């Protein structure tokens, strides 16, 4: 995957600023200067370790707060707020680590305090004052930037082309349109319609990114286009009302002010590494939770058996990875032997757009214990067994029941290209308040943009949802 030049520059500059603050503070403590005026410091591994913790934690926090996205670089207030939060959290992590390992640097307040103060001055000056003008100069003179081809010459495509052409500080330079309904050679906003959408490969050497702005496309058509364009291994940005739920619920990349659903280029090495690390994290976490929560599981089993007859586990067949079926475990929240006709009818109505929401309200089949289990999502805990068996992951799209699978459109079936999860993006960003189409869109966003950092964000949000019994924000 091609790493954007400006992001690499920002990363190196941030590391340099943090390092400078650490070095100056250490020098202030040491007060050792050799004859030629150069700094002399005994930087032993024991001293380098805490500085490395500070650098790594700050960079991770910056990345997760979107400080390396172009649209944030000109928002001084946001950058300052994120910096203050990040530096407080990072120093909290650093001090906690030093205390845990009884590191001698903890006693050297003459190092920690100056580094905090210096960083608090250097970073705002560099990021808010210097960087803003440096980036404007680089954008204006096309030192950095990308050439983009617009797919769709309708009203939205022309609006975006106009904005890009009139913005001298834009990161994206449009080279032309692709459109199936406009005649090749037609000119809109000073840009030509180059060809049909299917002929994008002819221009692959002329652009760095793709922006899809089709106004009347269906989910299936957009999905077919995305799948075809992914073979070009270039970033794809999509602006469509069909995906409006994504910027409402997720911090996304801005395309010169327009919120986009982005499909990053394929990186097989990164994908394989991610899958291995995620599996290790899944197995380790599942084992720890099953062992740690075993007393709670026993208590729940007793409560279920006391209230109603039947097994305390509910098992059913669901469709998961690669559209294969497996047995799904939950704590039983209904009376034993209940008919599923009500739920089947609900699923049909949701699929037809007659009704939103995924659960029946005041369902008489649900026991008192079951209502409590469902409110805090505790009924889902036995799915940790499915995680251990490799049938599920901690994070991913939800598996579906066979009769739900029969109602899916083709574009919705991309969810089966990854392991289903106990929790996912729509569960923490909307839960039952998100309609079925938007749930699939959020699942699709996850499939296209999954990463360890996104998984951790979803897991932390899930903890909040489970504790409060409310929808994540």
pLDDT digits (tens, 9 = 90+) for 375-407: 888 889 999 999 999 999 999 999 998 888 988
pLDDT, tens only, 134-149 = 888 888 888 888 899 9
Q: How many beta carbons lie within 10 A of that of residue 150, not counting itself?
A: 30
What is the model's pLDDT at position 40? 43
Residue 37 pLDDT: 44
Whether 10 contacts 68, CB under 8 Å = yes
Q: Tell me which of 3.30.70.380, 3.40.50.720, 3.20.20.120, 3.40.50.1980 is the CATH number of domain 146-266.
A: 3.40.50.720
Phi/psi region, residue 113 (left: phi>0; alpha: psi -120 to 50; beta: rest), is alpha
pLDDT of residue 351: 59
Mean pLDDT of 58-85: 85
Q: Which residue has the higher pLDDT, 30 or 40?
A: 30
| Percent of the chain residues past pLDDT 70, beyond the cut | 82
- Say if residue 445's pLDDT is above 90: no
Asked whether residue 363 carries a pLDDT value surpassing 90, the answer given is no
**pLDDT given for residue 471 in this prediction:** 46
- Residue 151 has a pLDDT of 93
Residue 461 has pLDDT above 60, yes or no: yes
Q: What is the pLDDT of residues 31-70, one digit of tens each?
A: 544 434 444 445 455 567 777 888 888 888 888 787 888 7
Phi and psi at 259, nearest 5°, equal -75, 130
* Averaged pLDDT of the chain: 82
Residue spans of the domains in the chain: they are 5-140, 146-266, 269-468
pLDDT average, residue stretch 226-238 = 88
What CA–CA distance (Å, rounded) separates 51 from 19?
8
SS3 174: strand
Neighbours of 168 (CB within 10 A): 9
Look at residue 260 and tell me whether its pLDDT is greater than 70.
yes
Lowest mean pLDDT among 35-44, 111-120, 353-362: 35-44
Residue 268 has pLDDT above 70, yes or no: yes
Q: Say if residue 157's pLDDT is above 80.
A: yes
Answer whether 426's CB lies under 8 Å from 438's CB. yes
User: Does the pLDDT value for residue 117 go beyond 90?
Assistant: no
Higher-confidence residue of 363 and 73: namely 73
Token readout for 54 is: 């500070």
The beta-strand segments (E) located in 340-410 are 393-395
- The DSSP call for residue 125 is I
Instruction: Count CA within 13 A, CB hemisphere, residue 324.
Output: 10
Q: Which residues contact 438 (CB under 8 A, 6 or more apart)?
A: 245, 426, 430
- Among the residue ranges 233-237, 268-272, 362-366, the one predicted with the least confidence is 362-366
Mean predicted confidence (pLDDT) in 168-177: 89
In the chain, what percentage of residues exceed pLDDT 90?
24
**What pLDDT does 217 receive?**
81
What pLDDT score was predicted for residue 367?
A: 85
The more confident residue out of 473 and 353 is 353
pLDDT digits (tens, 9 = 90+) for 190-211: 899 999 999 999 999 999 999 9
Helix axes 5-30, 45-64, angle to 10 degrees: 140
197 DSSP assignment = G
Q: What is the pLDDT of residue 70?
A: 78
Query: Looking at 22-26, 143-147, 296-300, which range is the least confident one?
Result: 22-26
- Whether the predicted pLDDT of 242 surpasses 90: no
- From the centroid of its chain, how far is CA 470? 21
Cα dihedral 86/92/93/99 (nearest 10): 160
pLDDT tens for each residue of 342-352: 666 766 666 55
pLDDT of residue 33: 40
For 51, counting Cβ atoms within 10 Å of its Cβ (0-12 exposed, 13-18 middle, 19+ buried), the class is: buried
Structure-token pair, residue 199: 């002929």
Residue 214 neighbours by CB distance under 10 Å: 24
Across the range 297-308, mean pLDDT stands at 90
**What is the pLDDT averaged over residues 320-337?**
90
pLDDT at 45: 56
The mean per-residue pLDDT over the stretch 232-253 comes to: 76
Torsion angle (degrees, nearest 10) of CA 396, 398, 400, 406: -70
Token pair 């590191």 is at which residue? 103
Structure tokens at 280: 């290790």
């Amino acid at each position: 995957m091609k790493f954007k030049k400006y992001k690499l520059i920002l990363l190196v500059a941030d590391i340099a600023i943090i390092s400078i603050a650490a070095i100056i503070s250490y020098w202030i403590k040491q007060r050792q200067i050799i004859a030629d005026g150069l700094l002399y410091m005994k930087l032993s591994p024991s001293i380098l370790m805490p500085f490395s913790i500070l650098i790594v934690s700050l960079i991770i926090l910056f990345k997760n707060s979107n400080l390396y996205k172009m649209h944030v670089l000109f928002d001084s207030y946001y950058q300052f707020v994120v910096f203050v939060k990040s530096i407080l959290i990072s120093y909290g992590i650093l001090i906690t680590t030093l205390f845990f390992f009884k590191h001698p640097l903890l006693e050297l307040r003459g190092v920690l305090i100056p580094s905090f103060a210096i960083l608090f001055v250097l970073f705002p000056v560099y990021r808010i004052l210097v960087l803003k003008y440096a980036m404007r100069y680089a954008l204006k003179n096309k030192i950095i930037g990308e050439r983009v081809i617009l797919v769709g010459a309708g009203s939205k495509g022309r609006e975006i082309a106009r904005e890009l052409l009139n913005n001298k500080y834009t990161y994206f330079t449009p080279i032309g349109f692709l459109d199936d309904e406009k005649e090749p050679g037609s000119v809109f906003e000073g840009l030509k319609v180059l060809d049909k959408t299917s002929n994008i490969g002819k221009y692959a050497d002329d652009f760095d990114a793709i922006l899809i702005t089709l106004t009347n496309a269906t989910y299936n058509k957009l999905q077919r286009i995305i799948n075809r364009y992914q073979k070009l291994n270039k970033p794809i940005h999509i602006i469509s009302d069909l995906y409006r739920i994504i910027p409402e619920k997720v911090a996304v990349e801005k395309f010169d002010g327009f919120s986009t659903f982005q499909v990053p280029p394929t990186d097989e090495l990164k994908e394989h590494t991610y899958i291995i690390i995620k599996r290790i994290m899944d197995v380790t976490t599942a084992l720890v939770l099953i062992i740690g929560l075993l007393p709670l599981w026993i208590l729940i089993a007793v409560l279920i058996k006391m209230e109603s007859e039947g097994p305390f586990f509910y098992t059913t067949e669901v469709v998961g990875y690669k559209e294969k079926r497996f047995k799904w475990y939950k704590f039983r929240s209904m009376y034993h032997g209940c008919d599923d006709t009500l739920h089947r009818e609900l699923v049909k109505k949701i699929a037809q757009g007659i009704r939103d929401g995924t659960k029946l309200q005041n369902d008489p089949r649900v026991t008192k214990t079951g209502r409590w289990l469902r409110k805090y999502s505790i009924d889902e805990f036995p799915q940790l067994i499915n995680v251990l068996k490799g049938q599920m992951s901690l994070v991913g799209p939800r598996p579906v029941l066979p009769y739900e699978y029969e109602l899916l459109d083709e574009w919705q079936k991309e969810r089966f290209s990854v392991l289903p999860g106990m929790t996912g993006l729509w569960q923490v960003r909307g839960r039952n308040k998100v309609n079925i189409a938007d749930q699939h869109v959020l699942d699709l966003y996850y499939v296209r943009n999954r990463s360890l950092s996104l998984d951790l964000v979803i897991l932390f949000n899930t903890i909040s949802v489970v504790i409060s019994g409310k929808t994540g924000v």
